[in-house]
Amino acid sequence: MEIIGKWNIAEAKVMNKDFKMEWRTAADIMADDSLDDYVKQSIGYSYCFTEEGKALTLFPIPADAPKEKIDAALASGEMKLYDDSTMILEEKAWKEEDGKLLYDTEAKAEVLGEKLSSWVEIKPTADGIELMAYRLVKE
């Protein structure tokens, strides 16, 4: 599977009324007034996997964001641009190992004193990939 390129969220796992996680389409999530704004905001994320092993989390710059604030955030290093209308929220790593695609969550955890790996598998789906709680399709 060719992972290099930009990927958009098609589905996400969200909690239903029975407190169980279920897959829902991005359009369904955006139309659901019962979901928190942060859930809806995350649907706007996209991911870009580079040949250099970087996994960029991208988000559109709000149309009403004042240019002066954008310029100040760029100058201070608070914000990095992907292109003229998209900012880079996070930069992590991805790699291919033993025929599997892996994403570094950078999470630090342990169980019974044993450190757990921060790398999770990027799983292929019928029309894209699954990365943690998102199903992505290539742009």
CA distance 59 to 4: 18
| Integer-rounded Cα radius of gyration of the chain | 17
E strands, 4-139, in order: 5-15, 21-25, 46-49, 54-60, 80-83, 86-97, 100-104, 110-111, 114-115, 119-124, 129-131, 134-138
pLDDT of residue 34: 87
What is the separation of C-alpha 113 from the centre of its chain, rounded to a whole number of angstroms? 29
- Model pTM? 0.88
Residue 113 has pLDDT above 90, yes or no: no
Interval 34-49 mean pLDDT: 91
Q: Which residue segment(s) compose the domain that 69 sits in?
A: 5-138
Number of structural domains in the chain? 1
